[in-house]
Amino acid sequence: MNIVLGVSGGIAAYKAVMIARRLVEEGHDVHVVPTDDALQFVGKPTWEAISRQPVTTSVHENVAEVRHVALGQEADLVIVAPATANTLARMAAGIADNLLGTTLLATQAPILVAPAMHTQMWQHPATQANAAVLLSRGVEFIGPDDGRLTGTDSGPGRMSEPDQIVARALEMLRRRGVEDDLRGVRLVVSAGGTREPIDPVRFIGNRSSGRQGVAVAAAAAGRGADVVLLAANIEESILADVRARENVQIVTVTSANELKVVADREAGTADVVVMAAAVSDYRVAEVRATKMRKEDVGGEHLMLELIENPDILAGLARDRRPGQVIVGFAAETADDQQSLIELGRQKLARKGVDLLAVNAVGWSEGFETAENTLYILAAGGELISTVAGTKAETAEGLLDSIVAKLSTAG
Least distance to ligand CTP, CB of residue 327, Å: 8
Is 142 or 326 the residue whose CB approaches ligand CTP more closely? Answer: 326
- DSSP letter for each residue of 246-276: TTEEEEEE-SHHHHHHHHHHHHTT-SEEEE-
Q: Which residues bind ligand CTP (CB under 6 A)?
A: 256, 275, 277, 279, 281, 309, 311-313, 328-331
d(CA 6, CA 33): 5
Least distance to ligand CTP, CB of residue 182, Å: 20
Is 103 or 359 the residue whose CB approaches ligand CTP more closely? Answer: 359
Is 32 or 326 the residue whose CB approaches ligand CTP more closely? Answer: 326
Least distance to ligand CTP, CB of residue 57, Å: 50
Question: What residue spans of 107-210 are helical by DSSP H?
Answer: 119-123, 125-136, 162-178
* Helix pair 67-74, 99-106: axis angle to 10 deg: 50
Least distance to ligand CTP, CB of residue 183, Å: 25
User: Catalytic residue at 2?
Assistant: no
Q: Half-sphere exposure of 163 toward its Cβ, with a 13 Å CA cutoff?
A: 12
- DSSP letter for each residue of 116-140: ---HHHHHSHHHHHHHHHHHHTT-E
Least distance to ligand CTP, CB of residue 350, Å: 7
Is 38 or 377 the residue whose CB approaches ligand CTP more closely? Answer: 377
Is 38 or 277 the residue whose CB approaches ligand CTP more closely? Answer: 277
User: For residue 327, which phi and psi values (nearest 5 degrees)?
Assistant: -120, 130
What single-letter amino acid sits at 280?
Answer: S
Give the Å distances, CA to CA, from 125 to 83, 120, 130: 17, 10, 8
Q: Contact 61/102 with Cβ under 8 angstroms? A: no
Least distance to ligand CTP, CB of residue 410, Å: 24
CB count in 10 Å sphere of residue 85:
22
Is 154 or 346 the residue whose CB approaches ligand CTP more closely? Answer: 346
Closest CA to 1 of 38, 28, 31: 28
Q: Which of 2, 62, 206, 247 is catalytic?
A: 206
Strand order in the sheet with 77-83: 29-34, 2-7, 77-83, 111-115, 140-141
What single-letter amino acid sits at 153?
Answer: D
The residues annotated as belonging to the active site are 206
